[in-house]
Amino acid sequence: LSDDVDFEDAGNADDADDNEGWETEDEMDAEAEQDDSELTFSKHTGSVFCVSLDPATNSLAVTGGEDDKAYVWRVSDGEVLLECTGHKDSVTCAVFSHDSSLVASGDMSGMIKVWKVETKEEIWSFEVGDLEWLEWHPCAPVLLAGTDDGNVWMWKIPAGDCKTFPSSACQATSGKVLPDGKRAIVGYEDGTVRVWDLKQGNAVHIIKGQDGHQGALTCLACNKDGSLVLTGSVDGCAKLINTATGKVGGNTGLSKGSKEEEDSNSVESVGFCNILPLIAVAYLDGTLAIYDLSTQVLRHRCQHEAGIVHLQWEDSSSLVSTCSLDGALRFWDARSGNMVSEYHGHTAEILDFTINREGSLAITASGDNQVKVFCLQRPDR
């Protein structure tokens, strides 16, 4: 309610001037103290770069940080089940396998380790070039990684059988295994996108040149059946690619007046709504854009005051959530474009977050060295 009441004119103007410094400080304190979280995990001693939930039960989280460590911990009480040590650099990737039995942690220097959650032991380790991304296969104990030198690696775990998918020497900046488990889509620093056949080891489609992006890829997402992929780039554009044909079906870019503005407005995160034909594109300038999937018409523009880091659609609703450089987590209804709720508690930017399947919990990783668990109050419950 306090938002609706304006206290600016309270008291007479002279008093207000005298107290200006004091009032501002007070407001800052109030803001810093607001903590909507249910639980704070504070074992990390540096920024926390990544968080994910175990797919089987959604009851365990794994987080990776600047302190060269990953932790597997219980979401209900924050108890540590496994400390992943032995990394030489910031852990920027940490993910559970499809059945939650294994967890992989990867650091910036390219050291990758796999741990068996149940026995808490390291069962496999490998070193590649500087690591860009790390992903488990959706239905097998197979791990994929993309590196700075343009290679995509694939290993059977724990046997270690290895396959590489080489490309010209530019970073493989983002990658995703399609839901069929037979193909992977990979975006590169030069704006190229490749669809790889994991069995044959060849690129089925290469999207480049006019069709491709004019700058490095920053993010990609696929729809539920993997027929479409949405890619985002530092060039300020999002593209829709048909994975069967390799054709670019649509091109969404917020038309900002000048070219300079567009250059600085990188796409940071993209995603498909599961229940409506809508897509979301999040930009570094703080715009969350909701587009119609079939026409690519801009439906809503949801403005944030700071850059957006990551977006995620809820599994079975039209709500899309965002985390931003201002440290807040926000939920938007894509049908109306309205903000439904926002959660505070971090004192620095949120660098990653995830939401459980039920849409009842959000877990956020921040530059304030903390991970927070928020209980989501849903308007329709």
pLDDT at 30: 52
**CATH H superfamily, domain 263-380:** YVTN repeat-like/Quinoprotein amine dehydrogenase (2.130.10.10)
Long-range residue pairs from 205-210, CB within 8 A, at least 24 positions apart, any chain: 205/243, 205/245, 205/246, 206/246, 207/239, 207/241, 207/246, 207/248
Three-state DSSP state, 26:
helix
pLDDT at 2: 43
Four-CA torsion 183, 189, 190, 192, nearest 10 degrees: 10
pLDDT at 12: 42
pLDDT at 250: 67
Match 């959660």 to its residue by tokens: 343
**What's the Cα-to-Cα distance from 323 to each of 222, 301, 366, rounded to whole Å?**
20, 16, 10
Tell me phi and psi for residue 32, to 5 degrees. Answer: -65, -30
Q: Which residues lie below 8 Å from residue 17, measured CB to CB, with a gap of 6+? A: none
pLDDT at 169: 65
Closest CA to 272 of 304, 240, 297, 242: 240
CA 109-111-115 angle, to 5 degrees, is 145
Indicate if 263-380 has the same CATH topology as 36-166. yes
CA 64-363-217 angle, to 5 degrees, is 60
* Cα–Cα dist 70/126, whole Å: 16
Tell me phi and psi for residue 249, to 5 degrees. Answer: -90, -25
Q: Could you state, in order of their start, the residue ranges of all structural domains in the chain?
A: 36-166, 263-380
* Cα–Cα dist 248/250, whole Å: 6
pLDDT at 60: 98
pLDDT at 364: 98
Fold of 36-166: Methylamine Dehydrogenase; Chain H (2.130.10)
SS (H, E, C) 199-257: CCCCEEEEECCCCCCCCCEEEEEECCCCCEEEEEECCCEEEEEECCCCCEEEEEECCCC
* Cα–Cα dist 172/149, whole Å: 7
pLDDT at 143: 97
pLDDT at 240: 94
Q: Is 340 exposed, middle or buried (0-12, 13-18, 19+ CB in 10 A)?
A: middle
pLDDT at 320: 97
State yes or no: cis peptide before 277, omega within 30 of 0. Answer: no
- Beta strand pairing status for 152-156 and 319-324? unpaired
Three-state DSSP state, 274:
coil
Torsion 97-102-103-106 (CA) sign: negative
pLDDT at 97: 98
Low-confidence ranges of the chain (pLDDT < 70): 1-32, 169, 250-264, 378-381
* Cα–Cα dist 184/85, whole Å: 29
* Cα–Cα dist 169/188, whole Å: 10
pLDDT at 9: 42
